[in-house]
């Protein structure tokens, strides 16, 4: 649907809701709280609660036997959840594992696959990437005795919002060992062309991986078919696994059989793990890149959440998400044009992720005013208000209410009651 077919009335928003498919009743949602921060932390679903309680019950009833028995046996829980995640990223089940965190998993990827050789010592990233990824890359360079100032190549942004794929490709010289990029930029919501970038990296003999934090659960991927070498992600944003929920990792089957750079007990082949040998017989799947014991009570909610994604279908969720964000951008342009806002995300469907990047020089204090008016946004320095209507549980009327409240805040200058500085947790 084109933006010029929208109408800026609440009745029209309610009509869109009557026509939409939703899993809203599956979630714990407070009435008259407009939660637009699901791209930072997704809400709790009843199914996630149920599968968490199942694991607690298995522990309560079975004790140590919960590892192999019960409703949700723990020993191969990470592999089971990896297989359920695989369709969301276009992967084979054995290429996907639920383990660690984004940063820990990136350390694993680099410890395993970053092998500076001759003049191929550099890692390419981008200057708009999330800081944690850059911290990990710099730390790994230092472990190899290399200076980040020389061996980390940060692709510059032309506009301060987005990264041009041509600039990334231009940085793929014969001195580069690995390219590491976000699939979707966390501020602007730009979706990079992963297929093209992967093809160009491989044409030059370079490995390439992606941080899927802001794309998994929001849009389809084809990681296996594109030939992406590796990827990591968190599960607590669009996948609603809970605060601090265990992350995930993809390693292409082309690389299976390689020993993990960071080895641990759960790197083992399952049938060999309890042989207690000091020589590791590592798994021949993505399971090899696990390190420690699975955090059972932290991964259990993901099982319930993934059940919903299997029923909803990632393609249908993506279609609805694009429509919802397009509707939100229409309302912003219709209702907020006089207040100095700019939409910072790309407008094309194939170039944007799941959130709207709304820019304003008073963004921090506007976010505080929104929260005091029952809208939950997300602030990102220096000037970004991220608004993320979730296809699973947000409504078009909530989008309408959010923009209506924001307009009231600006018209009454209510935001001036707050300091234009971020809170400790933005």
- Which tens digits make up the pLDDT trace of 60-114? 999 999 999 999 999 999 999 999 999 999 999 999 999 999 999 999 999 999 9
Please tell me the distance from the alpha carbon of residue 186 to that of residue 378, in angstroms, as a whole number. 11
Binding site per annotation, positions: 102-103, 130-133, 211, 214, 236, 265, 293
In this structure, the number of other CB atoms found within 10 A of the CB of residue 364 comes to: 23
Query: Where does CATH 3.90.1150.10 sit in the chain?
Result: 3-31+313-417
Binding site per annotation, positions for pyridoxal 5'-phosphate: 102-103, 130-133, 211, 214, 236, 265, 293
Question: Residue 50 belongs to what H/E stretch?
Answer: helix 46-62
Q: Residue 378's beta-bridge partner residues?
A: 386
Encoded tokens for 255: 């690389």
Mean pLDDT of 252-276: 96
pTM reported for the whole predicted model? 0.96
Task: Give yes or no for residue 38 having a pLDDT over 90.
Answer: yes
Please tell me the distance from the alpha carbon of residue 184 to that of residue 189, in angstroms, as a whole number. 6
Encoded tokens for 136: 């990990």
Task: Give yes or no for residue 297 having a pLDDT over 50.
Answer: yes
Task: Give yes or no for residue 425 having a pLDDT over 80.
Answer: no
Answer for the pair 330, 5: CB distance below 8 angstroms, yes or no. no
Residue 4 confidence class, pLDDT cut points 50, 70, 90: low
What CATH number is given for 49-311 in this structure? Answer: 3.40.640.10
- Residue ranges in 121-160 assigned as alpha helix (H): 131-143, 148-151
Query: Where does CATH 3.40.640.10 sit in the chain?
Result: 49-311
Three-class SS of residue 188?
Answer: coil
What CATH number is given for 3-31+313-417 in this structure? Answer: 3.90.1150.10
Supply the pLDDT for residue 422. Answer: 84
pLDDT in tens, 200-257: 999 999 999 999 999 999 999 999 999 999 999 999 999 999 999 999 999 999 999 9
């Amino acid at each position: 649907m084109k933006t010029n077919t929208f109408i800026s009335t609440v009745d029209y928003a309610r009509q869109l809701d009557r026509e939409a498919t939703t899993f809203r009743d599956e979630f714990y949602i407070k009435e008259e709280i407009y939660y637009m921060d699901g791209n930072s932390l997704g809400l709790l679903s009843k199914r996630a609660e149920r599968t968490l309680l199942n694991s607690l019950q298995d522990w309560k009833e079975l004790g140590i036997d919960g590892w192999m028995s019960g409703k949700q046996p723990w020993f191969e829980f990470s592999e089971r959840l990896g297989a359920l995640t695989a369709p969301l990223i276009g992967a084979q089940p054995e290429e996907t594992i639920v383990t660690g965190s984004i940063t820990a998993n990136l350390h694993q990827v680099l410890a395993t696959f970053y092998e500076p050789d001759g003049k191929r010592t550099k890692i390419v990233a981008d200057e708009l990437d999330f800081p944690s990824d850059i911290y990990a890359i710099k730390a790994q360079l230092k472990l190899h005795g290399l200076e980040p100032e020389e061996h980390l190549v940060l692709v510059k942004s032309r506009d301060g919002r987005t990264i041009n794929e041509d600039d990334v490709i231009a940085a793929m010289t014969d001195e580069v060992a690995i390219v590491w990029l976000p699939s979707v930029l966390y501020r602007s919501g730009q979706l990079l062309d992963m297929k093209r970038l992967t093809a160009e990296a491989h044409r030059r003999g370079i490995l390439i991986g992606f941080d899927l934090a802001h794309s998994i659960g929001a849009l389809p991927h084809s990681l296996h078919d594109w030939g992406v070498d590796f990827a990591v992600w968190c599960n607590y944003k669009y996948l609603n696994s809970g605060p601090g929920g265990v992350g995930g990792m993809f390693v292409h089957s082309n690389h299976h059989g390689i020993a993990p750079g960071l080895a641990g007990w759960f790197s083992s082949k399952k049938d060999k793990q309890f042989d207690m040998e000091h020589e590791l017989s590592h798994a021949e799947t993505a399971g090899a890149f696990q390190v420690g014991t699975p955090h059972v009570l932290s991964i259990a909610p993901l099982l319930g959440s993934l059940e919903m994604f299997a029923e909803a279908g990632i393609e249908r969720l993506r279609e609805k998400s694009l429509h919802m964000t397009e509707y939100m951008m229409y309302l912003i342009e219709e209702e907020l044009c006089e207040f100095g806002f700019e939409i910072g995300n790309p407008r094309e469907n194939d170039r944007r992720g799941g959130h709207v990047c709304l820019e304003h020089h008073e963004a921090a204090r506007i976010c505080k005013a929104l929260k005091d008016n029952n809208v939950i946004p997300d602030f990102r320095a220096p000037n970004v208000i991220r608004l993320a209507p979730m296809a699973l549980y947000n409504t078009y009327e909530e989008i309408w209410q959010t923009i209506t409240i924001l307009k009231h805040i600006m018209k009454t200058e209510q935001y001036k009651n707050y300091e234009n500085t971020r809170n400790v947790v933005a």
